[in-house]
């Protein structure tokens, strides 16, 4: 099985690694990391990155670190650290004992900064942010040098130490790397290494009033951890020369980390920026970060996605450098593929219509046998009660059906899954509304599933639930959060929120499900036959189980019928 696992095509990062390996770089050691900033919840784009980094470490028998990039105390919170830890763990990316924080390295970073100052490669600038920004020029205009650029190392060191000691207020001074104000790369125009921030840090408390900037902290953190491949997204491509410049300042031996950039994941009908997701949460467009409609890992988890389904997805999506928009259908396909193998089949009627079987004894209950999962012989069987009154799906009965409609209609026969063939003899409508209230059928006693006369074929098979045995349940159905494939595609003056789908959430409170579903726990997953995959929500109680629809089953009929 394994050997005919068609020669897996390698992505461009693996190609690079393979080349380096054959050159003997870093002694053949492979070490990756995932470096989230704890300022928001992780989303499926992060999942791609986590799975990529962890996957590479596994593939090459290397190591994988989790490191929080917590260099900005004004935006970061413990709540986010906790959620990120939970999400990464849930995905199965194992950092073993290598959980780190950039803030763990503040002392080392500071020490190095002093060294760089003494090497004449960094200086303290007294100018305000606006002034520095002005002098930086524009992409097409070179920058000009700060009047403080040529301070002598001793003076810089003294000032830097006083910055650390807290002698200056926020914004009074910064430490800048002395690189090249005329570089065509804006990031090389004497970037800021440290800013003064009298702020409480979630880990270091009030120890520091001086915090390193991303570019300075990131590569050095990689270096300290022995990271060999620092994989990040495309927008950091222009930072790479600076990443390398900073490593140059401190590198001591042969080893050095290498930054490689790949294209971030984009999903159709979805927004992915932390800022927008935060906005959706804060302004109440969704019910929290783990709202099942959110593309967050916690949202997907609550929705019923499995870690495996996300792995399947990540593999199908691939890794490259070109901008992409993945069809959400691929995500949906990935869960179905996983859940099809694992989820027990059960029957649940979401929009019940009562069917009375007129020739079945009124007070009798019959126990039928039902297969739990035709895809998994080991899943076994369960008992199902049957009686003379059952509920079927309202959409499974029509008084005047179109051609090709295989379900129940006056005079037509249909099979009740795992039970009998029934025939519609009559129905009753509400005199006022015209709504169908009951359907009257007769059953064929010879047609019992598994019985001698069960070979008889009918066009349709319906799911059902015995009226007197069924239990009540709430079902939440989700549709895409945005109406437009590209949520950003709006008329002038509007933003992505104009594309919000008002019908993204449908709550059905009168559902009837088979009695075996009485004792379920949040997270349990099922296939409601003919309906889709569902997952028990955290709001579920023993009195009222709540199911989230993870994804509907593929449904050619609804496609066919809605086309006309």
Closer of 70 and 290 to RNA (Cβ) = 70
Among 256, 415, 525, 549, binds RNA (CB under 7 A): 415
Catalytic residue among 98, 274, 321, 497: 274
The answer to whether 132 and 146 have CB atoms below 8 angstroms apart is yes
Q: Is 162 a catalytic residue?
A: no
- Nearer residue to RNA within complex by CB, 132 or 436: 132
184 sits near RNA (criterion: CB under 7 A): yes
- Number of residues assigned to the chain: 564
Q: Are the CB atoms for 548 and 531 separated by under 8 Å?
A: no
Closest to RNA by CB, 418 or 466: 418
Which DSSP letter does residue 10 get? P
Q: Is 297 exposed, middle or buried (0-12, 13-18, 19+ CB in 10 A)?
A: buried
Catalytic residue among 37, 371, 425, 438: 37
One of 82, 155, 167, 375 touching RNA (CB under 7 A): 375
Closer Cβ to RNA, 433 or 563, answer by number: 563
With CB under 7 A as the contact rule, the residue among 270, 461, 477, 548 that binds RNA is 461
Q: How far is the CB of 459 from RNA (least distance, A)?
A: 8
Torsion angles phi and psi, residue 279, rounded to 5: -65, -45
- Per CB under 7 A, the segment of 192-200, 358-366, 469-477, 496-504 that binds RNA is 192-200
Per the listing, tokens 């070109």 go with 322
- The answer to whether 509 and 485 are in contact (CB under 8 A) is no
Q: Work out whether 325 is an interface residue with RNA (CB under 7 A).
A: yes
Q: Does 162 bind RNA (CB under 7 A)?
A: no
Which range of residues in 78-86, 105-113, 287-295, 325-333 is near RNA by CB under 7 A? 325-333
Residue 381 as a binder of RNA (CB under 7 A): the answer is no
Per DSSP, the residues of 139-193 read TTB-----TTTT--HHHHHHHHHHHHHT-S-TTS-EEEE---TT-SSGGGSS-EE
For the sheet with 122-125, list strands across it. Answer: 122-125, 174-177, 192-196, 210-212
State the number of binding residues for RNA (CB under 7 A). Answer: 97
> Catalytic: 37?
yes
Alpha-carbon distance of 408 to 439, in angstroms, equals: 10
Catalytic residue among 25, 98, 203, 264: 264
In angstroms, give the least distance from the CB of 539 to RNA: 25
The mark string for 60-99 relative to RNA (x by CB under 7 A, - otherwise) is: ---------x-xx--x------------------------
Among positions 2-41, residues that touch RNA (CB under 7 A) are 9-12, 15, 35, 37
Among 196, 231, 310, 536, binds RNA (CB under 7 A): 196
| CB of residue 173 to RNA, shortest distance in Å | 7
Could you please report the per-residue DSSP string of 206-250? TS-SEEE-HHHHHHHHHHHHT-SEEEEEGGGGGGHHHHHHHHHHH
**Annotation marks residue 423 as catalytic:** no
**Which of 59, 92, 107, 133 contacts RNA by CB under 7 A?**
133
Among 92, 128, 166, 380, contact with RNA (rule: CB under 7 A): 128
Strands 532-536 and 525-528: antiparallel
d(CA 173, CA 195): 7
- 287 is a contact residue toward RNA (CB under 7 A): no
Residue 413, SS3 per DSSP? strand
**In terms of CB distance, is 291 or 424 closer to RNA?**
424
**DSSP string spanning 502-530?**
TTSEEEEEEEEE-GGGGG--TT-EEEETT
Residue 172's contacts (CB-CB under 8 Å, 6 or more residues apart) are 126, 196
Comparing CB distances to RNA, the nearer of 290 and 413 is: 413
Q: Tell me the closest approach of the beta carbon of residue 431 to RNA, in angstroms.
A: 29
Instruction: Strands of 314-374 (E only): list them.
Output: 344-346, 348-349, 352-357, 366-371
- The three-class DSSP label of residue 255 is coil
Task: Name which position in 50, 88, 174, 536 contacts RNA (CB under 7 A).
Answer: 174
- Binding marks (x or -) toward RNA, 469..498, rule CB under 7 A? ------------------------------
3-state secondary structure of 279: helix
Is residue 326 at the binding interface for RNA, with CB under 7 A as the rule?
yes
Nearer to RNA, 323 or 433 (CB): 323
Closer Cβ to RNA, 268 or 287, answer by number: 268
Q: Active-site residues: which are they?
A: 37, 264, 274
């Amino acid at each position: 099985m394994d050997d005919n696992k068609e020669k897996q095509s390698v992505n461009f990062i693996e190609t690079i690694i393979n080349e380096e390996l054959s050159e003997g770089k870093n002694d053949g050691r492979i070490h990756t990391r995932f470096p989230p900033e704890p300022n928001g919840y992780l989303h499926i784009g992060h999942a791609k990155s986590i799975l990529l980094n962890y996957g590479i470490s596994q593939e090459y028998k290397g190591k994988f670190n989790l490191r929080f990039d917590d260099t900005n105390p004004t935006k970061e919170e413990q709540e986010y650290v906790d959620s990120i830890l939970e999400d990464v763990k849930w995905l199965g990316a194992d950092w073993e004992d290598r959980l780190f924080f950039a803030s763990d390295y503040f002392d080392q970073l500071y020490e190095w900064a002093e060294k760089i100052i003494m090497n004449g490669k960094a200086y303290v600038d007294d100018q305000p942010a606006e002034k520095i920004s002005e002098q930086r020029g524009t992409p097409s205009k070179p920058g000009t040098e700060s009047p403080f650029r040529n301070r002598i190392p001793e003076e810089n060191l003294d000032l830097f130490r006083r910055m650390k000691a807290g002698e200056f207020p926020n914004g009074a001074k910064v430490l800048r790397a002395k690189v090249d104000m005329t570089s065509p790369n804006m990031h090389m125009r004497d970037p800021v290494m440290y800013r003064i921030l009298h702020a409480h840090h979630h880990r270091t408390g009030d120890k520091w009033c001086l915090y390193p900037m991303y570019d300075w902290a990131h590569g050095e953190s990689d270096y300290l951890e022995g990271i060999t491949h620092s994989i990040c997204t495309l927008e950091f491509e222009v930072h790479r020369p600076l990443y390398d410049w900073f490593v140059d300042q401190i590198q001591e031996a042969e080893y050095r980390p290498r930054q490689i950039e790949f294209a971030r994941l984009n999903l159709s009908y979805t927004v992915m920026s932390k800022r927008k997701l935060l906005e959706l949460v804060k302004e109440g467009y969704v019910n929290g970060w783990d709202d099942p409609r959110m593309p967050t890992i916690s949202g997907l988890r609550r929705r019923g996605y499995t870690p495996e389904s996300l792995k399947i997805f990540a593999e199908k999506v691939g890794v490259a450098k070109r901008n992409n928009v993945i069809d959400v259908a691929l995500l949906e396909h990935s869960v179905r593929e996983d859940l099809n193998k694992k989820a027990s089949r059960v029957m649940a009627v979401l929009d019940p219509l009562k069917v009375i079987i007129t020739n079945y004894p009124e007070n009798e209950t019959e126990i039928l046998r039902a297969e739990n999962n035709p895809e998994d012989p080991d899943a076994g069987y369960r008992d199902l009660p049957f009686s003379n009154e059952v509920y079927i799906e309202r959409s499974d009965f029509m008084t005047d059906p179109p051609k090709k409609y295989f379900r129940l209609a006056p005079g037509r026969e249909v099979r009740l899954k795992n039970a009998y063939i029934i025939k519609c003899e009559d129905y009753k409508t509400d005199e006022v509304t015209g709504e169908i209230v009951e359907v009257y059928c007769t059953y064929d006693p010879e047609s019992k599933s598994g019985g001698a006369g069960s070979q008889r074929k009918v066009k349709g098979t319906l799911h059902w639930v015995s009226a007197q045995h069924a239990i009540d349940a709430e079902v939440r159905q989700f549709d895409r959060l945005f109406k437009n494939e590209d949520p950003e595609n709006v008329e002038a003056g509007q933003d992505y929120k104009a594309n919000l789908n008002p019908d993204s959430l449908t709550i059905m409170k009168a559902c009837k499900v088979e009695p075996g579903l009485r004792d379920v726990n949040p997270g349990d997953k099922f296939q409601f036959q003919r309906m889709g995959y569902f997952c028990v929500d955290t709001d579920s109680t023993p009195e009222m189980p709540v199911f989230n629809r993870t994804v509907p089953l593929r449904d050619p009929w609804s496609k066919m019928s809605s086309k006309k």
